[in-house]
Amino acid sequence: MHSHQSGKALFPFIMLVLLGLCVYLYLPKADGQTQMGAQQVEVSAHKVMMDNQPVTVDGVGSARANQAIDITSAQNDYVTSIYFKDGDTVLKGQKLVQLQDQQERLQVSELTINLKEQTRQLERLAELAKSQSAAKSQLEEQRSKVDALTAQLDAAKTKLAEMTISAPFAGTLGRRSISVGAYVTTNTVITTLDDLSVIKVDFQVPEKYLAQLQIGMRVTALSDAYPNAPFEGVLSHVDTRIDDKTRSVSVTAKFNNPKHYLRPGMLLFTKLQLAEVSALMVPEKAIIPIQDKHFVFAIGDDGKAHRTQVKIQTRFSGWVAIASGLEEGQQVITEGTLKLREGSAVSVKG
């Protein structure tokens, strides 16, 4: 009887122990999970990597042809033939225009005949001078005649050649401004000729970069006509003088232009590459400036955000090169930093 009552007394105690054990095992864990979920801050992050970034200087300049001239005549006369059309591509020495040249041809022909006759006279006197002293003075006089005729013939041939107008270099012609039968003078612009195989761009660089400038440095250029197609060129000239008003130096870049996309007069936005920096790169929006120091929130192995001081090497467009404070492979938070405190638990988007 006593044993049965003792068992009844222990039963409530055992039930209380089991209930307490359940509360210990389950309730604290569930509550901790809820609290942890509530404390996590959703952020965006970037993995820190070594990268190369160019150090550049921006400029603006106008494009000009490698060579550009107005085609004119060296003589005044009537046009008899035209051998080109508007916008033709021509080779060096290619015939463009023929002027009336009958008179010049006749003069060359006449002088050629006279020179042959006087040359024969010179040869005959040269033979006589070997045996007759009197012929020596005649020989010198004849030699002067031959020299004078030779000079006249050369001048006549030059004038005849100038009646044919040719391209002085290979390039692209502009609009034809004359017709057959027109009378042209030395002031008449017949057409234009541009060598578009290479385009040059002049722009200004601040004086402080002068010591870094070197011929052959890479230059990229953008045009409003081709906003998504940068052109690649090189620095080809640095002026010997500094502009005392702008404190800048004038430089020239040249761009190969085989398809003639670039045209003289185009406005080009240039970017001259002075150097290339190899460093740990982080997005600029990850940097938190506090007074004269800089910090980032780095995600630790514990999944929490830790405020880390960094030393900045240099800044680029949207990026910052880090000199010290971070290691390659670390994750830095780029969005959501305003909600963070030291040790905040985070979850990374994506």
Give the pLDDT of residue 271. 95
Quick one: 61 and 203 in the same domain?
Answer: yes
Quick one: 271 and 297 in the same domain?
Answer: no
Is 226 among the domain residues? yes
* Gap between the Cα atoms of 188 and 133, Å rounded: 58
- Enumerate the H helices of 83-134 as residue ranges: 102-128
Give the pLDDT of residue 138. 83
- Sign for the pseudo-dihedral over CA of 47, 53, 57, 63: negative
* 256: containing domain: 57-65+196-277
Single pTM value for the model: 0.64
Q: Give the position of tokens 């122990």.
A: 17
Query: Which CATH number goes with the domain that contains 267?
Result: 2.40.30.170
Is 298 among the domain residues? yes
Quick one: 303 and 254 in the same domain?
Answer: no
Final residue belonging to a domain, choices 184, 219, 254: 184
Quick one: 98 and 172 in the same domain?
Answer: yes
Give the pLDDT of residue 13. 60
Quick one: 169 and 218 in the same domain?
Answer: no
Query: Which CATH number goes with the domain that contains 309?
Result: 2.40.420.20
Q: CA nearest 307: which of 338, 348, 280, 279?
A: 338
Burial class from Cβ neighbours inside 10 Å (0-12, 13-18, 19+) for residue 324 reads exposed
Final residue belonging to a domain, choices 277, 306, 335: 277
Is 33 among the domain residues? yes
Is 242 among the domain residues? yes
Two tokens at 106? 């006749």
Quick one: 85 and 179 in the same domain?
Answer: yes
Is 212 among the domain residues? yes
Quick one: 61 and 206 in the same domain?
Answer: yes
Quick one: 254 and 327 in the same domain?
Answer: no
Final residue belonging to a domain, choices 129, 159, 184: 184
Q: Give the position of tokens 């467009």.
A: 317
Structural contact between residues 139 and 122, judged by C-beta atoms closer than 8 angstroms: yes
SS3 content of the chain, % helix, strand, coil (to 5): 30, 45, 25
Is 143 among the domain residues? yes
Quick one: 112 and 169 in the same domain?
Answer: yes
Averaged over successive runs of 10 residues, the pLDDT of the chain (350 residues) comes to 50 60 48 49 88 88 95 96 96 97 96 95 84 76 93 96 96 95 96 96 95 95 94 96 94 96 95 88 90 90 89 85 88 86 85
Quick one: 98 and 145 in the same domain?
Answer: yes
Is 191 among the domain residues? no
Give the pLDDT of residue 129. 78
Q: CA nearest 77: which of 95, 55, 104?
A: 104
Is 189 among the domain residues? no
Give the pLDDT of residue 31. 41
**Domain count within the chain:** 4
DSSP letter at 318?
S
